[in-house]
Amino acid sequence: MWRAARVLIGILILAGLGVLLWFATRPPPLIVQGEVSANRVDISPRVSGRVAKLNADVGDNVERGAVIAELESPQLTAALHMSEAALAVAEADLVRVNSTRPETIAARQAELAAAAADVTLYQEEAGRQARLITTGASTQSRVDETARNLEAAIRKRESAEANLQLAVAGASKEEKALAATQVEQARASLNQQQTDVHELRIVAPISGQVTTRVAELGENFAAGAPIFSLLDLQNPWFTFNLREDLLKGLKVGDAFDVTVPALGDRKIAVKVTIINAQGQYATWRATRATGDFDLRTFEVRANPVQPVEGLRPGMSAIASWPPEH
């Protein structure tokens, strides 16, 4: 029995030594380090102007659509007033082209009535001359003169009728179309000027925190010059740069845990959203002439599964690799 016990104890000791040796020779887990990133938006005006009001400063949290600065531009304001006046002129010209004064129509009607009366008069005169010439009381020249006068009166009546129709109809279709087009052109110019003036109000395109403010009151800024920088703290992500041999089948949608030293030791569950190959400059070069090869670097981006309080861009992130997923 003692011999059996000693054998059993020896086996247990050997097993324990084997386990200790296995743990001692086992390579330590690979630790990879990444960092927290977030979208940054540089805000710049679309038009030039002078800073008249600043409604946000570095460290302020602003909501999307909030007015964070206002510019002023006397040139744009003057151009807006000119466009308003040009539109009023074009609209007035369109009304003029599409209408005729009542006095003009009345005058044309009076001219037509006078021309019609002349036609009636010369028709009666022509009838009298026709009767008189049969009796020898009139000459042929008188009859011919009366006929010519009647013909001229008819043509004058036709001209008066045409003038009345022209007065009632107003301008031609081409003139009306031109006037309408000029109104649309003036309205488009006004809309452009209104848009430019509206752009003097700088609004936040996203909800975030102001990290940079370049503008000062009274300072002139050209179009496209950055005034503010906003950081989107509501949608951070983690970025890891890994050699391709460390990916080991990792794919978009896989989940693993990371720790952020700035937030303590609690584990944060993340999910892979992007795996991108970096440029040729980001390559791990082989250190031996043979038996090794160059390895590309990949960016692995992962989003937190749940919102994490206090997570800010620039914080370090630690993960054991390969992750269990």
pLDDT digits (tens, 9 = 90+) for 37-80: 999 999 999 999 999 999 999 999 999 999 999 999 999 999 99
Mean pLDDT throughout 134-153?
Answer: 79
Name which residue leads in pLDDT, 57 or 108.
Answer: 57
Name which residue leads in pLDDT, 108 or 271.
Answer: 271
Mean pLDDT throughout 97-115?
Answer: 79
Range in 171-180, 215-224, 281-290 with the lowest mean pLDDT? 281-290
Mean pLDDT throughout 274-291?
Answer: 63
Residue-wise pLDDT for 153-191, tens only, equals: 888 888 888 887 777 766 678 888 898 999 999 999 999
Note whether 40-73+200-231 and 236-321 share their fold: no
What is the token pair recorded at 53? 């009001």
pLDDT at 324: 62
pLDDT at 78: 94
Are residues 210 and 62 in contact, defined by beta-carbon separation less than 8 angstroms? yes
Q: pLDDT tier at 292 (50, 70, 90 boundaries)?
A: low
Side-chain-side CA neighbours of residue 289 (13 Å)? 0
Residue 281 confidence (pLDDT) above 60: no
Domains in the chain: boundaries: 40-73+200-231, 84-182, 236-321
Nearest-angstrom CA–CA distance, 287 and 211: 42
Residue 282 confidence (pLDDT) above 60: no
Are residues 39 and 240 in contact, defined by beta-carbon separation less than 8 angstroms? no
Are residues 278 and 299 in contact, defined by beta-carbon separation less than 8 angstroms? yes
Single-letter amino acid, residue 30:
L
- If DSSP codes are grouped into helix, strand and coil, which group holds residue 320? strand
Q: Pairing mode, if any, of strands 283-284 and 267-277?
A: unpaired
Which residues are paired to 268 by β-bridges? 258
Question: What is the residue whose two structure tokens read 């129709």?
Answer: 165
Percent of the chain with pLDDT over 70: 84
Q: Does the 40-73+200-231 domain belong in CATH 3.40.50.150?
A: no
The answer to whether the pTM exceeds 0.75 is no
- If DSSP codes are grouped into helix, strand and coil, which group holds residue 275? strand
Name which residue leads in pLDDT, 4 or 50.
Answer: 50
Residue-wise pLDDT for 308-325, tens only, equals: 988 989 899 998 887 765
pLDDT at 7: 63
pLDDT at 75: 93
Residue 94 confidence (pLDDT) above 60: yes
Q: pLDDT tier at 104 (50, 70, 90 boundaries)?
A: confident
What is the domain class of 236-321 according to CATH? Answer: mainly beta
pLDDT at 322: 76
Residue 4 confidence (pLDDT) above 80: no
pLDDT at 98: 76
Give every CB contact of residue 197 below 8 A, 6+ residues apart in sequence.
73, 76, 77, 80
Nearest-angstrom CA–CA distance, 143 and 123: 12
What is the token pair recorded at 3? 């011999």
Mean pLDDT throughout 242-259?
Answer: 87
